[in-house]
Every structure is written in C-alpha cells, then in structure tokens.
Chain A
Amino acid sequence: VRGYAYRLFRNWKGDVLVIPGRAIAFFGLVLLFFIPLITQNPYILRVLTFSSVFAIYAASWDLLSGITGQLTLGHGAFFAVGAYSAALLNLKLGLPSWATIPIGALIAIPAALIIGFPALRVRGTYFTLITLCVPIILTGVVFAFSNFTGGELGLSGIARISTSPLFNYYLVLLVMVSSAFLMWKLTDAKSKHIRLGIFFHAIREDEITARASGIDTTKYKLIAFCLSGFFAALAGTLYAHLIRIAGPSTLEIWFSIQPVMWAIFGGTATISGPIVGVYLLYPLTEFLRIIPEFRTLIFALVVIVLILFMPRGLIVRVREEIERECPRCKVINVITRRSCRACYSPLHLHEWESKNG
C-alpha cells in the first residue's frame, strides 16, 4: 500500500504539478471541495451545485461539438430527455433518485440513436440547423400530450436527492468530476489504450481523410452522439431532482444556446474549457440578479467583449500565456523555464536567437 501511495504521489508530482494548466485545475478542484468549510451559505452552495450540473452539460456539448466537430444547437433536447425521464420514473413508477438518475441517463442513448440516425445523414451547417429543430419538435410533442407530460407547467413534486444541501453539493460535484474525467479520458487523442479520442479528433479535422484512412466515420459520430447525449441527460436528471420540476423550459432555444456560450467562452475541444466557463459565467449570471433589468444586457455585453479578445476561448489563451511545449520532445513546460524539464533543450529559441544575433 505504501508503494502504491508513493507511486501515486510521484505521478501526481510529475504529471500534475509541473504542468501549470493542470496544477491550476487541480487546486481549483481542491478549492471546490473545501468551499463548504469556508461558507455554508445555502444560496452559495445552491449556485455552485447548479454550476456543477451545468458543467456536465457544457462538457457533454463539447464532446460532440468541440471535439467531434458536429456543431449542435439543440443539446437541450438530451437534457430534457434526462429531466423528463427522471421525473416520469419518479412520479409514475415511484422509483427513488438513486435509480432514476442512471436510468434517465441511459434512456438518452436510444434517444440519441433515434435523433442521430437521421441527423447525421447531413453534415456541416445543415446538421447544426437540424439539431436546432429537435427541441422545438419535442416542445410541440410535450404540449400536445399535456396530460402525460404536464404541458406548459411541467411535472412538479419530484423527490429530492437528499434534504441536506451539503450532501447534494458533494454528490453533484463528485458526479461532475467523475464524468469530466471519463469524458477527458475517452476523448484524449494521445491515449494509448482508448482509440476513440483520436478518431473523434480526426473526424473534426477532416472527415473525408478520416474516412479514407478506414475510419467508419458515421459509426464514431453516432458513438459521440450517444456519449454526449448520455452525459447531457445525466445533467438533466440531476437538475430535475434538484429543482424538483421538469418543464418545457429546458427545451427552449435559449437553454440549448447556453452551453454553447459557456463552452466557446471557456475554449472548445478541451472538455476542461467548458467546465471553467460554467464555473465563471453561471455565478456571474446569478450575481447579476441584483440588477434584474440589466442582467441579460450586461451578460451579453461581457460575452461580446470577451469573445473579441479571446475568440478561441479563455483556457486556450491562458495556456498560451503560461505553458510552452518543448520543440524537441513535446513535453509541456512552465513558461518561466528556460530549458525543457525532460530534455534540457532551450525552450525560447526565438528570443534566444534575437538576443544573441
């Protein structure tokens, strides 16, 4: 056991601490775990709990749209499938929350297949616009069968996960961390064991070349669709149990555009970017409730200004500022180092050349 612990510590030191981006992510996570020690204010805990839920949602959007490159504007459909299935299972069958959350998330996989088979026949902008249609069609269905789905008012009275806000906070945070880790590992292009990631990246970069290289692109796009739908629905089930209502508001266009805003703000195709985006932007929107008339206006202006300065997203920009990839061995270094930590080759060649002629 001591050997394992030592190896874990050494890996942590070598893989996390020396890479500034990862170190910041790690300490941010530690901070999130210790926030209840600093304040137990139920309002702050609630805002952070919802941030974690939306972090799963935004990261699942990034898995499909950022990494696989299938830009969708109708991700709320999966979120709503999760929320409604959790609500129906809980209210009609009386299942407790520990059963409805995984089952609701799993229901999204057949739903993703049903949406994905027709939608993935078209590509590019057509695909984006078709996915935009899906939540609107579902809204029509929800309203038309209102005695089953609750219509405009939605289904209310869903059981709580737990009466303690602290327990909810930690549960949602743990689910968020584990799903983010899973998504990051599954889509990691450098992974030696899981080949999914490199296929997803290949499909985004050039679908024709990917297909010519023998990748069944339609199959992998469907897999990305199912995975993304699964995690979005997972967020949906948690959301339904937290606000105890599943309504058509999750099917509004605005609800599908929000993860896009968070993800693009944080930086797409990174999984970590959207999560950071949510933890910064969602509390900001909550904070702006003190001036309700100007809330959306200020939010939109902030988004415009940030996009103008960082069109590739916060994470990508910050990482450019603090990290430098070694030109020889491709190991990531802190920007302050002058030579690579693995192979000692000089990192800042251009500056070195300009200084020494």
Chain B
Amino acid sequence: MSQQIVIWGIMNGAIYAMLALGFTFMFGVARVINLAQGAFFMVSAYFMYIFISLLQLNILLSIALTTILAGAIGITVYQLLIRRIEEYHGAVVLVTVAIALVLQEVILVIFGGEYLSTEPFIPGAIIFLGIDIRYQYLLSLGVVSACLIATGVLLYKTRTGLAIRCVAQDREIANVMGIDVEKTYLIAMGLGAFLAGVAGALIVPIYTLSPTMGWHPLVIMLAVVVLGGLGSIKGSVIGAFILAFVEAIVVFLVPMGSFLKDAIALAIVIAVLLTRPEGLFGISFEEERL
C-alpha cells in the first residue's frame, strides 16, 4: 500500500510538475492562460504512440521527436492565433479552449475513441528497500529530472533565461532595455508546450490513451499552479508533488477515494488560498494586490 502511494505520488507528481511548469512559463512570460495544455499533453502521448508502437523507433529518439513536435505546435498556435488577439484576454482563453477541442476531435477522427496502450519501454524492475520499482518509472523520473535541471540552467545561467525573467517581471521595461519581447514570448510558448510534450511522452506506457485524457491533468495542473503561486517556478514543482501525493493517499486510503480525489485535492488548494491568497510561493503581481 505505502509503496504504491510513494510510486504513484512520485510518478504523477513528475507529470503534473512538467505540465504546471509549462503553464507557468506561458502565463508568467506571455500572459497566456493556456487551457490547451492538457490537449498538448494528449497529442504528445499520441505522437509517442505513433513513434514507438507504429514506427518502432528508438525510445530516446521518439521522446526527442515528440517533444520537438509539441514545442512546434505551441509556437504555431501562438503565431497563428493567439498573437492576433493578445489584448483581449477573454478571447485568448476561449481560443485556447477551442484549440484543445480541435486537437481532441482530430485525434478522435484519426484514432477513434477506444483506449490504446503499449508495452513498457524497458521491461523489468529492481527491488530497492523492499519496494519494487519498474525501470519504466526510473526512466520517466530520469527524464523529468533532466528537464527540470535543464530548465533551471536555461533560466538562471543563460542570457535567454535572463531575458525571459526580465519580460516576466515587466514587459515594458524589458522592451525599453532592448530585449526582443516577441521572441521571448515565442520561446516561452515553445518551452511550455515542449514540457507538456515531455509529460505526454513519458506517460505512454503507464496510462491508457484516449482523446479526452487531457482534461483531468489540466484541472489538477491549474490547481497546482494556484497552490504553488501563479508565475512561481519553484511553487509549481513543489505544488505538483504535494497534490500528487494527496491524490495517491486519498485514492488508496479513503473510502470512495477515486470519486473524492479531485474534490479533496481542490479543497486543500482553496484552504491554502484562504490563508495565503498568493499561494505557497506566490509572487503577488501589482494588479492583483489590493
């Protein structure tokens, strides 16, 4: 029981962390509330399915191709649609929902509504402290940690990262300082979708695929982002693991837990927000303070 809680907590936490980090990039830098993040995740899972099961490619090559394609989708969506209506926030939210629907329906038309699943990438497991951990989970954890470290390096050690952080703080001043704001938005959107792609690629052998699989992670991801504090990178990672463990504990220990897991997770988020309105690690933006 407890080992399952630990494994599910870590696995789901890693997935939610990737999604939430991507959302944080898009929201913090480009100010886009991207409700299509769940759909990006779903589409990447299907890309991974195509590469691994239908084309029989190498695992790492498939992951790389999937994530690059996901990033390309993010950039295309921003360039073609969101950019033209940027100043109307409501319209942007609506367009991301419509994009999510379009992706979902396209996948539904191509693959049909039935559930798909694949063999684990690497079969087998090791036993560590009495818990048997499948190699599959270790691979996922490895890729997620690599992505987290790479994101950290990109943000805090490179000039591009500096530009991203500047634009997130104040886009006008950043513009005055000679930072190409539009390019930074594109990078942030691409990076956000790329991270959703990582999450989508890693869950292929663990979850079953269906065109509507993106909505539940989307809701939990939004809760994670609020819990951790909007725009906070540390907050979205830590919040993801907190909520994933709460979910795992509720599912395994509370009666009727699988019905109540979302309700309890979201109730915790609301309780946190009531005591700390800016989330756990929130940076309260000027316009949201009163």
Contact = CB atoms under 8 A, between A and B. Distances in A.
Given A121-B274, A307-B85, A144 B259 contact: yes
B7 interface: no
Contacts of A126: 226, 230, 273, 277-279, 288
Contacts of A299: 101
Interface stretch (A40-48, A88-96, A135-143, A223-231): A135-143
Given A124-B288, A208-B290, A261-B94, A130 B226 contact: yes
A125 to B, nearest CB: 6
A195 interface: no
B263 A139 contact: yes
Contact of B260 (A132, A140, A264, A293): A140
Chain A interface residue bracket vs B: 35 or more
Contact of A307 (B94, B102, B222, B278): B94
Contacts of A338: none
A144 B263 CA distance: 10
B273 A130 contact: yes
Given A126-B288, A137-B263, A294-B105, A118 B270 contact: yes
Nearest to A263: B90
A144 B94 contact: no
Q: Chain A binding site: helix, strand, loop or mixed by DSSP?
A: helix
B230 A304 contact: no
Interface in B211-241: 215, 219, 222-223, 225-226, 230
B288 A300 contact: no
Contacts of B97: 257, 260-261
B85 A118 contact: no
Interface in B84-99: 84-85, 88, 90-91, 93-95, 97-99
A308 B85 contact: yes
A300 B256 contact: no
A304 to B, nearest CB: 5
B164 interface: no
A253 B215 contact: yes
Contacts of A143: 256, 259-260
Contacts of B106: 297
A264 B263 contact: no
Q: Chain B binding site: helix, strand, loop or mixed by DSSP?
A: helix
Nearest to B215: A253
Interface string A103-146: 00000000000000011011111101110110011111101100
A308 B222 CA distance: 26
B98 A303 contact: yes
A102 to B, nearest CB: 30
* A118, A122, A139, A301 pick with most chain B CB within 10 angstroms: A122
Nearest to B254: A144
Contact of B230 (A118, A125, A138): A125
A253 to B, nearest CB: 6
Chain B interface residue bracket vs A: 35 or more
Contact of A300 (B102, B223, B267): B102
Contacts of B88: 311-312
A268 interface: yes
A325 interface: no
Contact of B99 (A119, A137, A304): A304
Contacts of B277: 121-122, 126
A138 B269 CA distance: 15
A124 B287 contact: yes
Contacts of B270: 118-119, 130, 133
A119 B267 CA distance: 12
Interface in B128-145: none
Given A139-B263, A260-B94, A297 B105 contact: yes
Contacts of B27: 125
Interface string B49-88: 0000000000000000000000000000000010011001
Interface in B258-290: 259-264, 266-267, 269-270, 273-274, 277-279, 285, 287-288, 290
Given A132-B222, A140-B259, A293-B109, A260 B33 contact: no
B72 to A, nearest CB: 19
Contacts of B226: 126, 129-130
Contact of B94 (A124, A133, A208, A264): A264
A118 B287 CA distance: 20
Given A260-B97, A304-B81, 9 more contacts: A119-B270, A133-B223, A133-B270, A143-B256, A144-B259, A144-B260, A297-B105, A308-B85, A311-B91
12 contacts: A71-B90, A126-B288, A129-B225, A136-B219, A136-B263, A137-B263, A139-B262, A140-B261, A207-B290, A304-B81, A304-B102, A311-B85
Q: Which A-B residue pairs are the 9 nearest by beta carbons?
A: A140-B263, A297-B105, A143-B259, A300-B101, A133-B266, A311-B88, A311-B91, A311-B85, A124-B288
Interface of A: 71, 118-119, 121-126, 128-130, 132-133, 136-141, 143-144, 207-208, 211, 253, 257, 260-261, 264-265, 268, 293-294, 296-297, 299-301, 303-304, 307-308, 311-312
